Amino acid sequence: MLPAPTTTSRSTTGLLETGATSWAPSAAAAPHHPSPPPDACGGQLTGLSGEITSPRYPESYPNDAECRWNIGGAGGSGLLTLVFADFQVEGGQGCGFDYVALFDGPTTAAPRLGRYCGNTRPPRTVSSTPHLLLLFKSDFNIGGRGFKAHFYSAARGDDRNFSSPRYPNFYPNNLKCQWSIQLPPGYRVKVFFLDMELEGRSSLTGGCDYDHLAAFDGGTEDGSLLGRWCGWESLAPITSRSNQLLLVLHTDRNTAKRGFSIAYMRQVCSSSRRVQDAHAPRRA
Ligand SMILES: [Ca+2]
Ligand SMILES: [Ca+2]
Protein backbone atom coordinates (compact mmCIF):
# COMPACT_ATOMS: atom_id res chain seq x y z
CA MET A 1 0.00 0.00 0.00
CA LEU A 2 1.35 3.38 -0.92
CA PRO A 3 1.56 5.86 1.92
CA ALA A 4 -0.74 8.85 1.74
CA PRO A 5 0.85 11.80 0.01
CA THR A 6 2.71 13.99 2.42
CA THR A 7 2.63 17.74 2.55
CA THR A 8 4.28 19.79 -0.11
CA SER A 9 7.22 20.57 2.13
CA ARG A 10 10.30 18.45 1.49
CA SER A 11 12.38 20.16 4.12
CA THR A 12 10.95 18.56 7.22
CA THR A 13 13.61 15.92 7.49
CA GLY A 14 17.29 16.16 8.16
CA LEU A 15 19.72 16.28 10.99
CA LEU A 16 18.53 17.87 14.17
CA GLU A 17 21.12 18.12 16.86
CA THR A 18 19.60 18.23 20.29
CA GLY A 19 22.42 16.87 22.39
CA ALA A 20 19.81 15.04 24.46
CA THR A 21 21.15 12.15 26.49
CA SER A 22 19.72 9.79 29.05
CA TRP A 23 20.99 11.82 31.86
CA ALA A 24 20.91 15.36 30.51
CA PRO A 25 18.95 17.64 32.81
CA SER A 26 18.50 20.05 29.91
CA ALA A 27 15.76 17.83 28.50
CA ALA A 28 13.58 19.04 31.37
CA ALA A 29 13.52 22.41 29.68
CA ALA A 30 12.13 20.94 26.47
CA PRO A 31 8.59 22.33 26.90
CA HIS A 32 10.02 25.84 26.58
CA HIS A 33 11.54 25.06 23.22
CA PRO A 34 9.59 25.20 19.99
CA SER A 35 8.52 21.73 18.87
CA PRO A 36 10.68 20.25 16.13
CA PRO A 37 8.97 19.61 12.81
CA PRO A 38 6.90 16.41 12.89
CA ASP A 39 9.31 14.42 10.77
CA ALA A 40 12.51 15.68 12.35
CA CYS A 41 14.84 12.78 12.83
CA GLY A 42 18.34 11.86 13.78
CA GLY A 43 20.44 13.40 16.50
CA GLN A 44 23.36 12.98 18.84
CA LEU A 45 22.89 10.14 21.32
CA THR A 46 25.45 10.26 24.08
CA GLY A 47 23.73 8.04 26.66
CA LEU A 48 25.06 4.63 27.59
CA SER A 49 22.00 3.04 26.05
CA GLY A 50 18.89 4.02 24.20
CA GLU A 51 16.39 3.39 21.48
CA ILE A 52 16.20 4.64 17.90
CA THR A 53 13.09 4.55 15.75
CA SER A 54 12.51 5.72 12.21
CA PRO A 55 10.35 8.83 11.84
CA ARG A 56 6.62 8.15 12.57
CA TYR A 57 7.42 4.56 13.60
CA PRO A 58 5.47 2.23 13.59
CA GLU A 59 3.54 4.08 10.93
CA SER A 60 5.06 4.36 7.49
CA TYR A 61 8.12 6.58 7.38
CA PRO A 62 8.01 9.68 5.17
CA ASN A 63 9.45 9.84 1.67
CA ASP A 64 12.63 11.81 0.99
CA ALA A 65 13.89 11.31 4.53
CA GLU A 66 17.53 11.50 5.46
CA CYS A 67 18.30 10.90 9.12
CA ARG A 68 21.63 10.54 10.88
CA TRP A 69 21.90 9.25 14.41
CA ASN A 70 25.34 9.79 15.83
CA ILE A 71 25.75 7.39 18.74
CA GLY A 72 28.46 7.67 21.37
CA GLY A 73 31.20 10.22 21.73
CA ALA A 74 30.36 11.48 25.19
CA GLY A 75 33.91 10.84 26.31
CA GLY A 76 33.09 7.19 26.86
CA SER A 77 35.43 4.61 25.41
CA GLY A 78 32.88 1.80 25.25
CA LEU A 79 32.13 0.06 22.01
CA LEU A 80 28.59 0.23 20.75
CA THR A 81 26.26 -2.69 20.22
CA LEU A 82 23.20 -2.12 18.06
CA VAL A 83 20.32 -4.60 17.93
CA PHE A 84 17.32 -4.23 15.65
CA ALA A 85 14.03 -5.21 17.26
CA ASP A 86 11.93 -4.50 14.16
CA PHE A 87 12.77 -3.77 10.55
CA GLN A 88 10.66 -3.13 7.45
CA VAL A 89 12.19 -0.86 4.83
CA GLU A 90 11.45 -0.78 1.11
CA GLY A 91 13.72 -3.34 -0.50
CA GLY A 92 15.43 -3.38 -3.88
CA GLN A 93 18.54 -4.52 -5.61
CA GLY A 94 21.56 -3.23 -3.72
CA CYS A 95 19.20 -1.43 -1.32
CA GLY A 96 19.15 1.45 -3.77
CA PHE A 97 15.76 2.88 -2.79
CA ASP A 98 15.40 3.08 0.98
CA TYR A 99 18.05 1.81 3.37
CA VAL A 100 19.77 1.89 6.72
CA ALA A 101 23.55 2.15 6.65
CA LEU A 102 25.86 1.75 9.63
CA PHE A 103 29.30 3.32 9.90
CA ASP A 104 32.10 2.47 12.31
CA GLY A 105 32.76 6.05 13.33
CA PRO A 106 31.19 9.49 13.64
CA THR A 107 30.77 10.26 9.92
CA THR A 108 29.89 8.52 6.67
CA ALA A 109 33.61 8.67 5.83
CA ALA A 110 34.17 5.92 8.41
CA PRO A 111 34.20 2.27 7.27
CA ARG A 112 30.72 1.03 6.49
CA LEU A 113 29.53 -1.85 8.64
CA GLY A 114 26.48 -2.68 6.57
CA ARG A 115 23.67 -1.44 4.36
CA TYR A 116 20.24 -2.93 4.88
CA CYS A 117 16.72 -2.89 3.42
CA GLY A 118 13.77 -5.25 3.08
CA ASN A 119 12.01 -7.20 5.80
CA THR A 120 14.87 -9.07 7.46
CA ARG A 121 16.24 -7.65 10.68
CA PRO A 122 19.90 -6.72 10.25
CA PRO A 123 22.33 -8.74 12.35
CA ARG A 124 23.56 -7.44 15.67
CA THR A 125 26.35 -4.96 15.03
CA VAL A 126 29.26 -4.08 17.32
CA SER A 127 31.42 -1.07 16.53
CA SER A 128 35.17 -1.11 16.88
CA THR A 129 35.26 2.56 17.87
CA PRO A 130 33.31 4.53 20.51
CA HIS A 131 31.20 6.00 17.68
CA LEU A 132 28.53 4.50 15.49
CA LEU A 133 26.62 6.38 12.82
CA LEU A 134 23.22 5.17 11.68
CA LEU A 135 22.06 6.70 8.39
CA PHE A 136 18.50 6.21 7.19
CA LYS A 137 17.44 7.30 3.72
CA SER A 138 14.17 6.97 1.86
CA ASP A 139 13.44 7.83 -1.76
CA PHE A 140 10.42 9.52 -3.33
CA ASN A 141 7.81 6.77 -2.94
CA ILE A 142 6.87 3.50 -1.21
CA GLY A 143 7.54 3.36 2.51
CA GLY A 144 7.33 0.79 5.25
CA ARG A 145 6.99 0.52 9.00
CA GLY A 146 10.63 1.47 9.35
CA PHE A 147 12.74 0.23 12.22
CA LYS A 148 13.27 0.14 15.93
CA ALA A 149 16.73 -0.50 17.34
CA HIS A 150 18.35 -0.55 20.76
CA PHE A 151 21.95 0.34 21.44
CA TYR A 152 24.25 0.13 24.39
CA SER A 153 27.80 1.09 25.09
CA ALA A 154 30.12 -1.25 26.95
CA ALA A 155 33.86 -1.51 27.25
CA ARG A 156 35.21 -4.64 25.63
CA GLY A 157 34.31 -7.52 27.92
CA ASP A 158 32.12 -5.35 30.14
CA ASP A 159 28.89 -6.87 28.93
CA ARG A 160 28.02 -10.49 29.48
CA ASN A 161 26.00 -12.76 27.26
CA PHE A 162 24.06 -15.92 27.79
CA SER A 163 21.40 -17.83 25.91
CA SER A 164 18.89 -20.62 26.30
CA PRO A 165 20.18 -24.22 26.16
CA ARG A 166 21.31 -25.27 22.64
CA TYR A 167 20.62 -21.78 21.22
CA PRO A 168 20.19 -21.06 18.31
CA ASN A 169 18.91 -24.60 17.91
CA PHE A 170 15.61 -25.57 19.53
CA TYR A 171 15.63 -25.72 23.32
CA PRO A 172 14.70 -28.98 25.10
CA ASN A 173 11.20 -29.64 26.43
CA ASN A 174 10.38 -29.89 30.15
CA LEU A 175 12.95 -27.34 31.27
CA LYS A 176 13.17 -25.06 34.19
CA CYS A 177 16.34 -23.00 34.01
CA GLN A 178 17.41 -20.13 36.20
CA TRP A 179 20.02 -17.48 35.62
CA SER A 180 20.86 -15.32 38.59
CA ILE A 181 22.80 -12.15 37.99
CA GLN A 182 24.37 -10.46 40.97
CA LEU A 183 26.36 -7.26 40.85
CA PRO A 184 28.15 -5.36 43.63
CA PRO A 185 25.87 -3.18 45.78
CA GLY A 186 25.00 0.13 44.15
CA TYR A 187 24.73 -1.28 40.64
CA ARG A 188 21.62 -2.24 38.78
CA VAL A 189 21.36 -4.98 36.18
CA LYS A 190 20.33 -3.88 32.70
CA VAL A 191 19.28 -6.68 30.36
CA PHE A 192 19.13 -6.41 26.56
CA PHE A 193 17.26 -8.98 24.52
CA LEU A 194 19.34 -9.71 21.46
CA ASP A 195 17.00 -12.36 20.12
CA MET A 196 13.98 -14.24 21.39
CA GLU A 197 11.66 -16.86 19.93
CA LEU A 198 9.64 -19.04 22.30
CA GLU A 199 6.47 -21.04 21.80
CA GLY A 200 3.62 -18.56 21.35
CA ARG A 201 0.69 -17.62 23.52
CA SER A 202 -2.19 -19.95 24.25
CA SER A 203 -5.01 -19.30 21.81
CA LEU A 204 -7.41 -20.27 24.60
CA THR A 205 -6.31 -17.85 27.31
CA GLY A 206 -4.06 -15.45 25.41
CA GLY A 207 -1.45 -16.00 28.11
CA CYS A 208 2.11 -17.33 28.06
CA ASP A 209 0.89 -20.70 29.33
CA TYR A 210 3.30 -23.01 27.49
CA ASP A 211 6.90 -21.81 27.36
CA HIS A 212 7.88 -18.53 28.94
CA LEU A 213 10.73 -16.45 30.22
CA ALA A 214 10.25 -14.38 33.35
CA ALA A 215 12.45 -11.80 35.07
CA PHE A 216 12.34 -11.08 38.80
CA ASP A 217 13.95 -8.35 40.81
CA GLY A 218 16.35 -9.82 43.36
CA GLY A 219 17.64 -13.35 43.63
CA THR A 220 14.42 -15.37 43.92
CA GLU A 221 11.03 -15.80 42.30
CA ASP A 222 9.56 -14.04 45.35
CA GLY A 223 10.92 -10.77 44.00
CA SER A 224 8.72 -8.46 42.01
CA LEU A 225 8.04 -9.58 38.46
CA LEU A 226 9.83 -7.37 35.94
CA GLY A 227 8.38 -9.10 32.88
CA ARG A 228 7.07 -12.37 31.49
CA TRP A 229 7.37 -13.18 27.81
CA CYS A 230 6.66 -15.82 25.19
CA GLY A 231 6.40 -16.09 21.43
CA TRP A 232 8.28 -13.77 19.18
CA GLU A 233 8.44 -10.38 20.78
CA SER A 234 10.71 -7.45 20.27
CA LEU A 235 11.60 -6.50 23.78
CA ALA A 236 12.70 -3.26 25.30
CA PRO A 237 15.61 -3.56 27.74
CA ILE A 238 14.76 -4.08 31.41
CA THR A 239 16.57 -2.77 34.46
CA SER A 240 16.48 -4.23 37.96
CA ARG A 241 15.72 -2.08 40.97
CA SER A 242 18.30 -3.86 43.10
CA ASN A 243 21.73 -5.29 42.31
CA GLN A 244 20.27 -8.71 41.56
CA LEU A 245 18.06 -10.05 38.81
CA LEU A 246 16.74 -13.55 38.22
CA LEU A 247 15.69 -14.94 34.84
CA VAL A 248 13.63 -18.13 34.71
CA LEU A 249 12.86 -20.14 31.59
CA HIS A 250 10.03 -22.68 31.65
CA THR A 251 9.31 -25.02 28.75
CA ASP A 252 6.48 -27.54 28.61
CA ARG A 253 6.33 -31.03 27.17
CA ASN A 254 6.20 -30.25 23.45
CA THR A 255 6.84 -27.61 20.76
CA ALA A 256 10.21 -25.94 21.03
CA LYS A 257 11.68 -22.86 19.36
CA ARG A 258 15.03 -21.14 18.96
CA GLY A 259 15.05 -19.66 22.46
CA PHE A 260 16.76 -16.47 23.46
CA SER A 261 20.04 -14.64 23.59
CA ILE A 262 20.62 -11.93 26.16
CA ALA A 263 23.31 -9.43 27.05
CA TYR A 264 23.48 -7.69 30.38
CA MET A 265 25.59 -4.95 31.79
CA ARG A 266 25.86 -3.00 34.97
CA GLN A 267 24.26 0.34 35.30
CA VAL A 268 25.51 2.68 37.93
CA CYS A 269 23.06 5.49 38.28
CA SER A 270 19.77 6.27 39.86
CA SER A 271 17.98 7.59 36.80
CA SER A 272 15.98 5.20 34.67
CA ARG A 273 14.81 7.80 32.19
CA ARG A 274 15.04 6.67 28.63
CA VAL A 275 17.11 8.33 25.97
CA GLN A 276 15.19 10.89 24.00
CA ASP A 277 16.24 11.19 20.43
CA ALA A 278 15.51 14.12 18.22
CA HIS A 279 12.63 12.48 16.47
CA ALA A 280 9.40 13.94 17.76
CA PRO A 281 6.55 11.44 17.92
CA ARG A 282 4.05 14.23 18.44
CA ARG A 283 2.50 15.83 15.46
CA ALA A 284 2.91 19.58 15.28
CA1 LIG B 1 10.88 4.38 -0.69
CA1 LIG C 1 6.83 -25.80 24.47
User: Given this model, what pLDDT does residue 35 score?
Assistant: 54
**Interval 161-214: pLDDT, tens:** 899 999 999 999 999 999 999 999 999 999 998 889 999 999 999 999 999 999
CA of 254 relative to ligand 2 center, distance in Å: 5
Domains and CATH numbers, the chain: 25-154 (2.60.120.290), 160-267 (2.60.120.290)
Ranking 73-77, 137-141, 200-204 by mean pLDDT, the lowest is 73-77
CA of 231 relative to ligand 1 center, distance in Å: 30
Q: Taking residues 5-9, what's their average pLDDT?
A: 34
CB-count exposure of residue 283 (10 Å: 0-12, 13-18, 19+)? exposed
Q: Are 47 and 275 in contact (CB under 8 A)?
A: yes
Residue 185 amino acid letter: P
Q: How far apart are CA 234 and CA 156, in angstroms?
A: 25
Q: How far apart are CA 64 and CA 58, in angstroms?
A: 17
CA of 252 relative to ligand 2 center, distance in Å: 5
CA of 131 relative to ligand 1 center, distance in Å: 27
CA of 198 relative to ligand 2 center, distance in Å: 8
CA of 162 relative to ligand 2 center, distance in Å: 20
CA of 37 relative to ligand 2 center, distance in Å: 47
User: Given this model, what pLDDT does residue 268 score?
Assistant: 73
94 SS3 class: helix
User: Which position has the higher pLDDT, 23 or 202?
Assistant: 202
DSSP state of 17: -
Q: Where are the beta strands (DSSP E) in the chain?
A: 43-45, 49-53, 66-72, 79-88, 99-103, 112-116, 125-126, 131-137, 146-154, 160-163, 176-182, 188-197, 212-217, 225-229, 238-239, 244-250, 259-267
pLDDT bracket for residue 18 (50, 70, 90)? very low
- The alpha carbon dihedral of 70, 74, 77, 81 has a sign of negative
